[in-house]
Structure 1
Amino acid sequence: MLVIALACVVGYVANQVLQAKSSLEAAQASVTQIQSQLSSLDVSALSASATDFAGHAHDAATYTNDPLYKLAEIVPVVGPNLTAVRELSGSLDSIGSQVLLPVVDFSKTLTPASLKPVDGKLNVALLTSGDATLASADAAIVANVATISAIPTDGTVSQISSAKTQLVTALGKAHTEIGTVRSTVATVQSMLGMNGPRHYVLAFLNNAETTGLGGGPASLSMLTVDNGAFALTDHASSQDFPLTDGPVRDIDQNVKNIFGTGVVSTLNWSTARPDFPTAALTIQAFWQKYKGGTVDGVISIDPIALSYLLKATGPMTLTSGEQITADNAVPLLLHDIYLRFPPLDIETGSDAFFKDAAATVFSGITSTSADPQTLIDAVNKGIDSGNILAWSPIPAEQKLIASSPLQGVLPTDNAKSTLVGTYFRDVTTSKADYWIQSHVDLSTDVCTNPTNPTFTETVTLHSTMTVAESETLPRFVVGGNFGGTQVSTEVYIYGPVGASTGEQVAGTTSVSAAVRSSASDLGRPVARFLVNLKPGETNTVTASFSGVGGVYGPPVIQTTPMMNTTTTALTAAGCK
């Protein structure tokens, strides 16, 4: 009978071990799924996998926490293995219930609807709650690492000691990742004014007077953020910033050689260089010098991005009763408004209109009932197209911005993509880029000849302005410098990183173009041209570059965000 009883006990314990092994293997399979779903941010699938993991881990802990199982732990040789499995199962159960499930439950609350402003305020309580959840999860991870590390595995089979090592390593990585996320949350909390009000200059760029980043900041507003609540607290136009006081800050002489001293002494030219941190530092300096106060960051947006947002929100009604819509925002803000006033009143009249439009649209966006995901998609479209940019003087915040196209900087190498950029600057002192159409054609052998690649870019500009328009429209619109007789545009072609400038040709279809110079900026060769277009005229300039041997990603064309989208053509044999 004793033998039979012992056999039954052994069989029972063996069954518990097998059940525990099966549950642990299922939990391991869930971990693999969880890692994939975390990378893809698939919250729905992640929730199911986390629940599976927690259930399997709990089952394993239950099977190994049985009295007969514990009794078997006193058996020599076998016992230490059983003890180690039980303690590892208990820690996995703790991780499932104290770490994974709480974090996943919180992630379910991060929906587009919960992230949307309501009555001009974000739900910042989400950040506080999320940080508390992560802190609790991290504390549980640290405690479990200590517990698991103390589990004796001497004399156990190799699979158990290996599982212990893998679990400690995985938890260590999770601890590091949670620390990174909590640091990001703390940065976002500061940016949203949860540690005191923050002040950001909103620069509204005018694409009808083109500069490298899209247009000069014709209208500016101060955005104050206090504990997640947004408000416009001040406003200025470019006319509020003198042109004759000299530079508002120091800048590298090479930048002044390329773009002129106006890049730091004329607000409208602050965005000439295709590098938003350069522009933002200058805009910050202008505001602090002439308006006062502290600028905690700069955000730029143009009417093109605004049209994307209005498509998501629907039309908005201005103080005058007029509606601004996705369809009319660009022509209204970049052309039509200038024709509503007598020539002497254009600047003051349009400035007042822009101030009203900024306040109306800002209020509408921060209190809209639009579908949250549609609104988020519209914002992302503006960011990806370069029509929305941001900068912060605080390193931790700028580091966060630098993880997206918001930063508005050129790549520092060619590894991911081989970017060739074309940027324009109006020197007509006009709003005449309303009539400018542009095309960029890039030819390269970089995918078949990475040891000595060549790049040839041809830029074509065409003016659709008629002679009648040039003669009858206000000089403020068609150009103060030339009175409508021509539109003058500087063209800056930036070659790949590390390349050198080759042949430059100007005026292949018209005599009214010239090579200005070649230079180097941001680690890239720069070919500079001046193109003058009479009404109806077309002009073409061409620059070539030679690259050195190295790693080259697929060729990419980048251009200034123009009112009339620049068309592009890429010829690159061997490229996918």
Structure 2
Amino acid sequence: MLIVLISLIVALACIGGWVAYQAVQAKDALERAQGTVATLQTELTSVDLMTLDVSSLTASADSFAADVSDAREHTNDPLFKLAENLPTLGPNLTAVRQLTDSLDQLSTEALLPIVDFGKTLTPDALKPVDGKFNVDLLRNGDTALQNADTAITATSASLASIDTTDTIGQISSAKTTLTSALGKAQKQIVTVRGTLGTVEGMLGMNGPRHYVLAFLNNAETTGLGGGPASLSMLTVDNGAFAITDQASSQDFPTTKGPVMDVDANLLGIYGQGINQTLNWSTSRPDFPTAGTLIKGWWEKYKGGTVDGVVSIDPIALSDMLQATGPVTLEGSKEQVTAENAVSLLLHDIYLRYEPSQIQASTDAFFKDAATSIFKGVTTTSAAPDALLKSVNKAIDSGDLMAWSANADETKLLEGTKLSGVMPTDNTKSTLTGTFFRDVSVSKTDYWLETSVNLQTDVCSNPNNPTFTQTISLHSTITEEEADTLAPFVVGVNFKGRKFSTEVYGYGPIGSTITGTQVGDSSVGGSPRTSSEDLGRPVGRAVVDLAPGETNTVTFTYTGAAGTYGPPALQVTPMINTTATAIDAPGCK
């Protein structure tokens, strides 16, 4: 639009000395403004607050505003305005002046206030202080956007009043272009304000919110990483947050039937335990399912209303402690560090107590650890960019997930790894999943090593692709350890004689499972019936391992003709990271 105005001013410069001079000066100013438009568009659409160059954005906005204001000064010169009375040429001059006035109005009343607000969006300002978010920052942002919305409405009204009936086509086109741009900007502001409103709700700015923090125990694996061994109620009120209640998995009975009804297909795949045992609520590799079940457990046996569920495991805590530094537990006074968090919380703690005391003592320890670590992480003076990096790593690896009972909040999570939802098509990637669930009722996945190899010809044969998952499980526990460790650790079902793990293979969307094979084992293991879940074929096998033994499972799938993205693997977050490999000839 600025280019059109510049061209018009050049054409109008022929009307005489002083008016021509004003026209040339306006042209030069608008050309300078035009040069900053692309930079402003890039800077204003940046969503990475950690890399946003606020000083550069401010300089660009100030430069744009100054140049447009300069152009407005020249087009509002008395002689320029006097020339607007000339026949034929006059209406064109008037329209150019009014369009320039509109740009200046937009700059001063919308752009500059938003940029001023942007200066406050620093990582330090966004970081919680003493257990509270800076909610005034959000309120100020909403006010700035509301004022910008009002300014755009006024500018649009000014544009609508510009008479282009007797002007050349370029001027009418410029008016149309600017009007369209303002409409798009206004829609974007409405969207952003809606997002801010949702975030304000999440932070308890419209009334307290209650979220269950589920601390998953990867030593007893389930599809999403581990059962929720320890739960804390996080209450958020006007940005201030605190743990207001706690529970262990033992506070939720397993003998009173299902906590809620689930689809019969899920019961066929995962058994009745998925909705009758809190620890198995995370069996399905779909966090909304887990969140709904955990909400049901808490509300039924603890009371109140749960607005959402967040899961985190010791692996994620270890990542965060890399940024925050050690945390001292309030009860035992020992330090939890990035180096010892996983071993302490998933192994060492079980070796401290007599067999009869393990369960009660570890429950008390985990409550202390949950409170102390949460306080340490949320009141840290760590660099915000380092903490955000660790959080992103935990999200990417599936060690941190979130679910909300609020539909608007759910939309914010859609399409992110934080949601814990597998893709619903093969467009961006052709995902194959491998998930594990301990059925020994043990804590021995500390000694479990796993690997997954995917072989596929999907890139060279998209009309009839095949996918083969080869999954290896190896127990590193020794017979001596299995014989001497408490049944609570090695498993009450088999008491260390063997360790039993269910393996679930989820094929690509739209494929069918064509084979399941389980390798040899001295203590058992077998394939089970296949099924379908989340739009994917599901293979299931039970792998039994004696101490020190290795076994394998192979699932094969055939895909229909279609469009496939590059092959990808998703696996259960394990204490010992699963080694993965993809063999896909022809793929980039």
| TM-score in same-fold range (> 0.5) | yes
Q: 2:48 aligned with 1:36, yes or no?
A: no
What residue identity is the alignment partner of 1:458?
T
Match of 2:279 among 237, 244, 268: 268
Give the RMSD, CA atoms, in angstroms. 1.4
Is the Cα contact below 8 Å between 1:436 and 1:462 reproduced in 2? yes
- Residue of structure 2 in register with 1:69 after alignment: 80
Structure 1 counterpart of 2:570:
558
| Alpha-carbon distance between aligned partners in 2 of 1:47 and 1:408, rounded to the nearest angstrom | 38
Q: In structure 1, how many angstroms separate the alpha carbons of the residues matched to 2:521 and 2:44?
A: 55
Number of matched pairs: 570
Structure 2 equivalent of residue 113 of structure 1: 124
Q: Say whether residues 1:467 and 2:479 are aligned partners.
A: yes
Distance 1:160 1:557 in 2: 55
Unaligned runs of 5+ in 1: 1-6
The answer to whether the aligner puts 1:84 opposite 2:92 as a matched pair is no
CA distance in 2 between partners of 1:464 and 1:287 (Å): 36
Report deviation, 1:104: 1.3
Note if 1:176 corresponds to 2:190: no
The alignment's TM-score, normalised by the length of structure 2, stands at 0.95
For residue 519 of structure 1, the aligned residue among 531, 534, 542 is 531
Opposite residue 278 of structure 2, the aligned amino acid is L
Picking from 505, 521, 531, the partner of 2:517 is 505
Matches of residues 4-153 of structure 1 in structure 2 within 5 Å?
A: 10-41=16-47, 42-44=52-54, 45-153=56-164
Contact 1:426–1:490, Cα closer than 8 Å, also in 2: yes
* Structure 2 SS opposite 1:470: helix
The secondary structure found in structure 2 opposite 1:544 is strand
Q: 2: distance between equivalents of 1:250 and 1:150?
A: 61
Check whether the contact 1:509–1:540 (CA below 8 A) recurs between aligned residues. no
SS in structure 1 at match of 2:85: coil
Query: What's the offset of the Cα at 1:463?
Result: 0.3
Task: Kindly indicate whether the alpha-carbon contact (under 8 Å) linking 2:449 and 2:473 is maintained by their aligned counterparts in 1.
Answer: yes
Any gaps of 5 or more consecutive residues in structure 2?
Answer: 1-12
Output the amino acid matched with 2:299: Q
| Equivalent residue, structure 2, for 1:381 | 393
Q: What amino acid is the match of 2:485?
A: L
- Give the drift of 1:405: 1.2
Residue 235 of structure 1 corresponds to: 246
Task: Write the distance in 2 (CA, Å) between the matches of 1:547 and 1:53.
Answer: 54
Matches within 5 A, 1:389-538: 389-507=401-519, 512-538=524-550
Classify the secondary structure of the residue corresponding to 1:73: helix
Which stretch of structure 1 is more off in the superposition, 522-531 or 13-22?
A: 13-22
Amino acid at match of 1:203: A
- C-alpha deviation, 1:403, in angstroms: 4.3
Residue 284 (structure 1) aligns with:
295
Which digits, 9 at most, give the CA deviation of each residue in 1:135-175, with x for residues without a partner?
00010001101111221112222222211111111110000
Deviations 1:461-500 (A, max 9, x none): 0000000000000110011110001110000010000111
TM superposition score normalised by structure 1: 0.97
Cα-to-partner distance string for 1:280-313 (whole Å, 9 max, x where unaligned): 1100000000000111111100000000111111
Distance 1:170 1:8, change over 3 A: closer
Q: Residue 204 of structure 1 aligns to which amino acid in structure 2?
A: F
Alpha-carbon shift at residue 31 of structure 1 (Å): 2.3
C-alpha distance in 1 between matches for 2:522 and 2:73: 84
Contact 1:510 1:539 in 2 (8 A): no
**Equivalent of 1:541, from 524, 533, 553?**
553
| 1:508 positional shift | 5.4
Q: CA deviation at 1:384?
A: 1.4
Indicate the percent of aligned positions where both proteins have the same amino acid: 61
